[in-house]
Amino acid sequence: MAGTEVEFGDDFKVTQEMKDAFNQYGYVIVRNVLSKEEVNKLFEVFDVSDLVKNHMDVYSDGDKHMCRKTMWNQPGNDVTGMLARCEKVAGTCEELIGGEVYHYHSKLMMKQPKIGGKHQWHQDYGYWYYNTALRPNLMTVFMALDRCHKGNGCLQILEGSHLCGRIDHTRVGDQMGADMDRVKMIQEICPLKYVELNPGDAVYFHCNILHCSAVNTSLDRRWAILCAYNRADNNPVEKHHHPFYTPLNKVPNTAIMDCTTMWDSTGKDPFTVDKRLESNFGYIKREL
């Protein structure tokens, strides 16, 4: 393992080095977590499902640039469900976060050429905090489906910033952004990392790490699928728009390619416009 990066292989397992890197830097990059065949199968899912058609446009700064996403709460039993439940994704999270996890939600992020918007500097726990998960024992796996590079708005991370604790967030456009005065202070002590990924690469990151992404100014599309997990002993106190603890029922890595159900929305509990309004109201209510 070189720093925060490791290569996926048939003998892959989470090592103490990976755990140490995750605890120190707040993230670990695993190259080739998804094979070319698995990435292609996911694109087939998008062709036959309503995931792309039912996207939401999220504006970050009031201009023409927007981030498109589709989100769902439960993994289900189709190909995307096998992805969220497999050992190399969910099982790796359990090793890194230090306990049983459950599926908090998944989403398809679609940053289109030239119009793909930016994501403000933020921590996921900056707003998951309001969902009353009382400890920051949540994390996300960002899996690249297209090449992610500086030109098309790859993920940017401040290494080690998860150790600075939760930062106050305010609404910026349709997004929640971290207090930029605090971010600027943290930028003085936490190095900036551009997370450039090839299709199939993944970054596993802590819910308190500061991250953002820039506008896609290139002709290259930047699509990614993200799975978020909460530790089972961190069940939220209050009902909200993401699920309480639900046993994950993990599957072997081979389940992605073995799955013959390309898409089935049954029980996936999609994140609708109504749920988005509900979550927005939760932030506004607390700000008042």
Residue 60, pLDDT score: 60
Please indicate, yes or no, if residue 171 is contained in any of the structural domains.
yes
Residue 1 pLDDT grade (very low, low, confident, very high; cuts 50, 70, 90): very low
Residue 69, pLDDT score: 83
Task: Give the residue-averaged pLDDT of 158-172.
Answer: 91
* Structure tokens that stand for 254 in this block: 């081979």
**Residue 155 Rama label (left phi>0; alpha psi -120 to 50; beta):** beta
Q: Report the alpha-carbon angle 170-171-172, nearest 5.
A: 115
Please indicate, yes or no, if residue 45 is contained in any of the structural domains.
yes
Please indicate, yes or no, if residue 9 is contained in any of the structural domains.
no
Please indicate, yes or no, if residue 5 is contained in any of the structural domains.
no
* CATH at residue 174: 2.60.120.620
Residue 3, pLDDT score: 57
Please indicate, yes or no, if residue 80 is contained in any of the structural domains.
yes
Residue 271 pLDDT grade (very low, low, confident, very high; cuts 50, 70, 90): confident
Say how many domains are in the chain.
1
Q: Which residues, in sequence order, are CB contacts of 71 under 8 Å at separation 6+?
A: 56, 105, 106, 107, 108, 270, 271
Please indicate, yes or no, if residue 2 is contained in any of the structural domains.
no
Structural domain that includes position 71: 14-287
Task: Give the residue-averaged pLDDT of 17-41.
Answer: 97
CA distances to 24, 60, 148, 163 from 186, in Å? 15, 22, 25, 10
The span from the CA of 242 to the CA of 258, in Å, is 28
Residue 118, pLDDT score: 79
Residue 284 pLDDT grade (very low, low, confident, very high; cuts 50, 70, 90): very low
Residue 169, pLDDT score: 87
Please indicate, yes or no, if residue 42 is contained in any of the structural domains.
yes
- Higher-pLDDT residue of 221 and 69 is 221
The span from the CA of 107 to the CA of 242, in Å, is 12
- Higher-pLDDT residue of 75 and 59 is 75
In the block, residue with structure tokens 């927005």? 280
Residue 272 pLDDT grade (very low, low, confident, very high; cuts 50, 70, 90): low
The span from the CA of 153 to the CA of 112, in Å, is 10
Q: Determine the 3-state secondary structure of 155 from DSSP.
A: strand
The fraction of the chain above a pLDDT of 90, given in percent, is 74
- Higher-pLDDT residue of 286 and 269 is 269
Please indicate, yes or no, if residue 137 is contained in any of the structural domains.
yes
pTM for the model stands at 0.92
